[in-house]
Amino acid sequence: MARVFGIHEIDVNPGINEVDFKKFFVNELAPIYEPWKFMLLKGDRGQRTGKYAVLIEIESVEERDLHSPAPNTFSEEDQRWEAEHKDLVEALMKKWAKFSTTDIGMHAEYTDYIVLE
């Protein structure tokens, strides 16, 4: 089973407080996606120096496909969960919008990379 890494490049709003952004990401946003591991990255060298990305580590292609059977599509179970937790999801997305203009939901731009072993 090949491990999957999803990279979502994000743009942050001008003048954000990086400490608050990191706290929100680590303490509020990332935990709702367990068992997937979400990490907030900031470019240190190269074309995206100083810019941000979200790295998502998923145990296997099968695990990814269980929750996202096709690009920009969530499983029926995940859609039900989101509907049942609508207030939480809306609050998180509203808070996310204070930090970033980049969509992290259904229409996010991303690339999934499969580990070749």
Which CATH number fits the domain that encloses residue 44?
3.30.70
Closest C-alpha to 96, from 2, 3, 4, 30: 30
Strands (E), 1-117: 4-10, 37-42, 52-58, 111-114
Tens of pLDDT, residue by residue, the chain (117 residues): 899 999 999 999 999 999 999 999 999 999 998 899 999 999 999 999 999 999 999 999 999 999 999 988 889 999 999 999 999 999 999 999 999 988 876 667 899 999 998
Instruction: State residue 73's pLDDT score.
Output: 87
Instruction: State residue 106's pLDDT score.
Output: 62
Q: pTM for the full model? A: 0.90
- Which single residue is written with the structure tokens 């608050």? 20
Domain residues for the domain of 31 are: 4-114
Counted domains in the chain: 1
Instruction: State residue 90's pLDDT score.
Output: 94
Instruction: State residue 117's pLDDT score.
Output: 82
Can you list the pairs that 85-94 forms with residues at least 24 positions away whose Cβ atoms lie under 8 Å?
88/32, 92/28, 92/29, 92/32
**Maximum distance among all Cα pairs of the chain, rounded to whole angstroms:** 42
Instruction: State residue 108's pLDDT score.
Output: 76
